[in-house]
């Protein structure tokens, strides 16, 4: 298999260069319309890097997945999850991060590259209170660049087409996947109790 190993080789293959729109869309701050798009997103993929390697974590919330503080600053609460803290462990050692926001029904995604810090400031945590609970930490994100992504990937995948939605019954359950990784795992109990456990630990 032939491997491309230089930027020059890539440039030769993708001759023609960037379009004007590909360059013009990149800003160092949230424009009013970019802000509108980010506010409409309940889900984001958070990519980080650390000494052990890369991580990409799904983040979701009601009423917008991040809080926009100003045109260059976002707050993202760290709600209950699996307690691996992979993203947070990376950020405290290497602040670089990338975000890709999805908006249900829209083929336009938003991307942000920037830097983050992890805060446990009590006033900040309390400002995110939900059902009497608050996150244990908040990621404070400084924006380096923001832009919208070409819609072709979502159009090709027909991501929002209900006719293409997978039947959950045709897919392995989390319990079965855990059992495949750990032979003596009680998958039936895990799957049976999951919905109730998740409802009690959502926030």
Domain annotation covers residue 9: no
pLDDT at 196: 93
pLDDT at residue 79 greater than cutoff 80 = yes
- Do residue 42 and residue 142 come from a single domain? yes
Helices (H), the chain: 7-13, 20-24, 32-39, 86-93, 122-126, 152-157, 174-181, 187-200
Nearest-angstrom CA–CA distance, 79 and 57: 12
More confident call, 161 vs 63:
161
Domain that holds residue 135: 20-159
Which residues on adjacent β-strands are paired with residue 142?
73, 115
pLDDT at residue 203 greater than cutoff 90 = no
Domain annotation covers residue 13: no
Domain annotation covers residue 117: yes
73-77: strand order across its sheet: 53-60, 43-50, 96-102, 109-119, 138-149, 73-77, 67-70
CATH number at residue 60: 2.30.110.10
16 pLDDT tier (thresholds 50, 70, 90):
confident
pLDDT at 15: 85
pLDDT at 36: 98
Q: Which of 144, 159, 174 is the last residue of a domain?
A: 159
Give me 103's structure tokens: 């908006």
148 pLDDT tier (thresholds 50, 70, 90):
very high
pLDDT at residue 139 greater than cutoff 80 = yes
- Do residue 56 and residue 105 come from a single domain? yes
Residue 123: C-alpha distances to residues 19, 91, 134 (Å): 45, 21, 11
- Do residue 138 and residue 95 come from a single domain? yes
- Do residue 185 and residue 149 come from a single domain? no
Domain annotation covers residue 115: yes
- Do residue 109 and residue 200 come from a single domain? no
pLDDT at 160: 97
Domain annotation covers residue 6: no
- Do residue 178 and residue 140 come from a single domain? no
pLDDT tens track for 17-66: 788 999 999 999 999 999 999 999 999 999 999 999 999 999 999 989 99
More confident call, 67 vs 21:
67
The domain total for the chain is 2
pLDDT at 28: 98
pLDDT at 181: 95
pLDDT tens track for 105-120: 999 999 999 999 999 9
Mean model confidence pLDDT for the chain: 95
Domain annotation covers residue 33: yes
- Do residue 151 and residue 197 come from a single domain? no
Give me 27's structure tokens: 């800003």
- Do residue 51 and residue 133 come from a single domain? yes
- Do residue 155 and residue 171 come from a single domain? no
pLDDT at 19: 86
Percent of the chain past pLDDT 70, that is, above it, reads 100
- Do residue 191 and residue 129 come from a single domain? no
- Do residue 141 and residue 172 come from a single domain? no
- Do residue 108 and residue 181 come from a single domain? no
pTM for the predicted model, two decimal places: 0.94
- Cα radius of gyration rounded to whole Å, the chain: 20
Domain annotation covers residue 59: yes
Domain annotation covers residue 4: no
């Amino acid at each position: 298999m032939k491997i491309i190993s230089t930027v020059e080789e890539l440039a030769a293959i993708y001759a023609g260069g960037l379009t004007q729109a590909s360059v013009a869309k990149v800003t160092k701050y949230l424009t009013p319309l970019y802000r509108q798009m980010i506010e409409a997103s309940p889900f984001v993929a958070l990519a980080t890097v650390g000494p052990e390697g890369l991580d990409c974590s799904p983040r979701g919330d009601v009423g917008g997945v991040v809080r926009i503080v100003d045109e260059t600053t976002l707050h993202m609460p760290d709600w209950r999850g699996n307690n691996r803290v992979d993203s947070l462990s990376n950020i405290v050692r290497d602040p670089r991060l990338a975000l890709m926001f999805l908006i249900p029904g829209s083929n336009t995604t938003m991307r942000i590259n920037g830097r983050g810090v992890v805060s446990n400031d009590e006033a900040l945590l309390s400002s995110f209170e939900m059902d009497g609970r608050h996150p244990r930490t908040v990621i404070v994100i400084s924006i380096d660049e923001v832009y919208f992504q070409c819609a072709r990937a979502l159009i090709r995948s027909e991501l929002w087409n209900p006719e293409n939605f997978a039947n959950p019954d045709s897919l392995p359950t989390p319990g079965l996947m855990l059992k495949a990784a750990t032979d003596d795992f009680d998958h039936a109990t895990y799957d049976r109790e999951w919905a109730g456990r998740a409802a009690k630990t959502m926030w």
